[in-house]
Amino acid sequence: MNWLTNYVRPKIRALYARKEVPDNLWHKCPSCEAMLFHRDLEENLNVCQHCGFHMRLDPIKRLASMFDEGDYQSVELPKSVVDPLKFRDQKRYTDRLKEAQTKTGRHDAIVVGSGLIGGQPAVVAAFDFGFMGGSMGIAVGEGILAAARTAIAQKAALIVVPASGGARMQEGILSLMQMPRTTIAVEMVKEAGLPYIVVLTDPTTGGVTASFAMIGDIHIAEKGAQIGFAGARVIESTIRETLPEGFQRSEYLQEHGMVDMVVHRRDLRPTLSRVLTLLMQPVLAVAPEALPATAVQAEEPRSQAEAADETPAQAGAERTGSEQPA
């Protein structure tokens, strides 16, 4: 009976056993609650096909979607001090870091890459909201500074894609010190004559908004992204007034002049390509011989001999004619 027990019965069970379906095959849209197949969602860059809701995107996938042909070089970031304050709340800060590093597979909440966008050199620094809410600590400040130095060395544009809840409270004042550090890093890029572009994603809040995220040459926002300093509930409880509909959203900020343009995620790379092509073009010096002859003659001053031969009546007539309104 061993052959029935050891061979036949397992074969029958294998034929009729229920196959477990993985839990990550389907995702529910947080906005319209539609069920989305994971492959369709990945092909659409984590944007709902039904309502256009922009979900958060992994920074590695974001870099691949922004650079030409998805080809870029990772920029190695410097090591930073770990747990300088020996902070502990319900857990030790070092334990929280290890959990976030195991979950995301990266050292901290920022990834930097360099490559071409629309044929123009660019350095992109993208945040990972999955790493402790994309909070800005010493490592993130070092990452922004490294991205700025790389952009200057390569004479490339600097593009930052924040997705952050603000400063990292476990690092205290050292986290707040990253606000002026990142601002200085951006100023270094601008002094080098290179463009600095910010792509605002959901969410961009707190100290990130109060520093490098709002001093770009051009601000591009994804559709429906939450952008602000304090939360809407905190503002309402402070001013004791109901906020307008769509407050702190990309479209609202564009209407009030804080955002230059709001784009769909699939249109981000073409938009950046056009912007970088315009900003990175060298200024062409036009030689006088390239101008029309009439324009050159109009700009040439009259000689003293021509002015002396002119009669007072002619000069007065020309002055009178030039003073008459068109």
Residues within the annotated binding site? Answer: 29, 32, 48, 51
Answer whether 199's CB lies under 8 Å from 158's CB: no
d(CA 136, CA 157): 22
CB 120 within 8 Å of CB 126: no
Distances (CA, A) of 322 to 97, 298, 309, 325: 75, 14, 20, 8
How remote is the C-alpha of 215 from its chain's centroid? 12
Cα separation of 80 and 95, whole Å? Answer: 16
Question: Coil, strand, or helix at residue 201?
Answer: coil
Bridge-based pairing state of the strands 110-117 and 120-127: antiparallel
- The annotated binding site for Zn(2+) is made up of 29, 32, 48, 51
Q: How far apart are CA 225 and CA 215, in angstroms?
A: 18
Instruction: Give one DSSP letter per residue of 70-104, joined into a string.
Output: G-EEEPPPPP--S-TT--BSSSBHHHHHHHHHHHH
By the 8 A CB rule, do 202 and 158 touch? no
Give the whole-angstrom CA distance, residue 82 versus residue 87: 10
DSSP string for residues in 157-169: EEEEE--B-SB-G
